[in-house]
Structure 1
Amino acid sequence: MDRPLRTVDVARAAGYSVQQVRDLERLGVLPPARREPNGYRTYDTRHVLAARAYRGLATAVGPVVARRTMAALPGAPLADAAAAVDDLHAGLAAERAQTLQALTALDAIRSEAAAPSPGSSLSITELADALGVRTSTLRHWEAEGLLEPQRVGSLGARVYDAPASATARVVAALRAAGYGIPALRAVVSALRGLGGTAEAEAALRERLDRIAVRSVALMKAGADLAAVLDGAGRIPSPVRRRAAGPAMLGT
Structure 2
Amino acid sequence: MERNLQTRCRLRPVDLAREHGLSTQAVRNYEAAGILPATERSPHGYRTYTPLHANALRAFLALLPGHGHQRATAIIRAVNSDATAAALRLIDESHVQLLGDRRTLQAVEVALRDLEPVPEERGEVFVGPLARRLGIRPATLRKWEQAGLVWPRRDRRTGYRVYGAADVRDALLVHQLRRGGYLLEQIAPLVDQVRSAGGVAPLESALRDWQERLSARGRAMLAGAAALDAYLGSRAES
Aligned equivalent of 1:125, options 132, 139, 161: 132
The match for 1:203 is: 206
- C-alpha deviation, 1:219, in angstroms: 1.5
Q: How many positions carry a matched residue from both structures?
A: 226
Q: Is the 8 A contact 2:17 2:23 kept in 1?
A: yes
Gaps of 5+ in 2: none
Q: Superposed, which structure 2 residues align to 1:201-240 within 5 Å?
A: 201-233=204-236
- C-alpha deviation, 1:88, in angstroms: 1.0
2:181 & 2:41 partners in 1: Cα distance? 43
SS state of the match for residue 148, structure 2? coil
- Amino acid of the structure 2 residue aligned with 1:83: R
Q: Comparing both chains, which one has the higher relative contact order based on Cα–Cα distances under 8 Å and sequence gaps of 6 or more?
A: 2
The match for 2:105 is: 99
Aligned equivalent of 1:37, options 37, 43, 46: 43
2:165 & 2:48 partners in 1: Cα distance? 61
Aligned equivalent of 2:53, options 35, 47, 53: 47
- C-alpha deviation, 1:25, in angstroms: 1.3
2:207 & 2:15 partners in 1: Cα distance? 41
Structure 1 residues 81 and 158, CA gap change in structure 2 (3 angstroms):
farther
The match for 1:179 is: 183
Percentage identity across paired residues of the two chains = 33
- Amino acid of the structure 2 residue aligned with 1:212: S
Q: Is the 8 A contact 2:58 2:227 kept in 1?
A: yes
The match for 2:173 is: 170
Q: Deviations over 1:75-130 (max 9, x none)?
A: 36333221111101111222222122212222221x33434769xx96412312xx
The match for 1:77 is: 83
- Amino acid of the structure 2 residue aligned with 1:21: V
2:82 & 2:176 partners in 1: Cα distance? 33
SS state of the match for residue 80, structure 2? coil
TM-score normalised according to structure 2 size: 0.74
- Amino acid of the structure 1 residue aligned with 2:210: R
Q: Deviations over 1:23-44 (max 9, x none)?
A: 2112222222221222222222
Q: CA RMSD in A?
A: 3.5
Q: Is the 8 A contact 2:134 2:175 kept in 1?
A: no
The match for 1:27 is: 33
2:165 & 2:235 partners in 1: Cα distance? 53
The structure 1 segments of at least 4 consecutive aligned residues displaced by more than 6 Å after TM superposition are: 154-162
